[in-house]
Structure 1
């Protein structure tokens, strides 16, 4: 992982978030978030999640849909109050997952996909107050598009 950071506290918060995701540690994940967090996954059909309770629901949905979820930071840039993380996600589709205006519904756990993405963070007092996520969802369409049904 390449790191360029001038804010150890904010770097620690971002690294703790990814560590909690990889450990399946929901409490640890939520501990990195500001109470007023706004999480936006920039993918068709997703509205921003406002507040820890809404982000906890996103956590639950992700963990219900994916088996073996793992995110690896490849590059991390941190300045006071802001961070950008490039990452790869590895996961197998295990439950229903939105693909645009359709939903992929697996008949069995699907093979894992490797998906690159980026998160842009805003931090306040060492907590994540905004997280914007972009992922190469085209990989999901290629891998699981045949499973998609109209929602």
Structure 2
């Protein structure tokens, strides 16, 4: 029937570039492809191999080494990373190094550190005075031997 009305058939055809764009959009949507536009100075998370796991650490882009390779500063170390080992970070400033994440979060939220107050309350000077003195002379059982401390119970030697 389409041969009898060629005008309707001509309207249905689209150009190849439109089909390619449509296919690319569908692929990107299904595979969660996002444009990877990072510039020097951007804060990112870099994938770092720590056997047997992978760790993500915050860092900054130092420079681009091509289309997909970047030089990244993570904890003061310069590393070369591929774009698939980098993730964007929502943080706009450079991450602080050496601080605990809890302290950073407490500073951002302007909260008091309850854990620090509990630690201060639990510190007691009398505990330090009652600890048994350490000496490596005695042959102790294995679990306490690595600490080189005297056992709390006196050892009785049989003759």
TM-score under structure 1 length normalisation: 0.23
More strand by share: 1
Larger Rg: 2
* Greater relative contact order structure (CA < 8 Å, 6+ sep): 1
TM-score under structure 2 length normalisation: 0.22
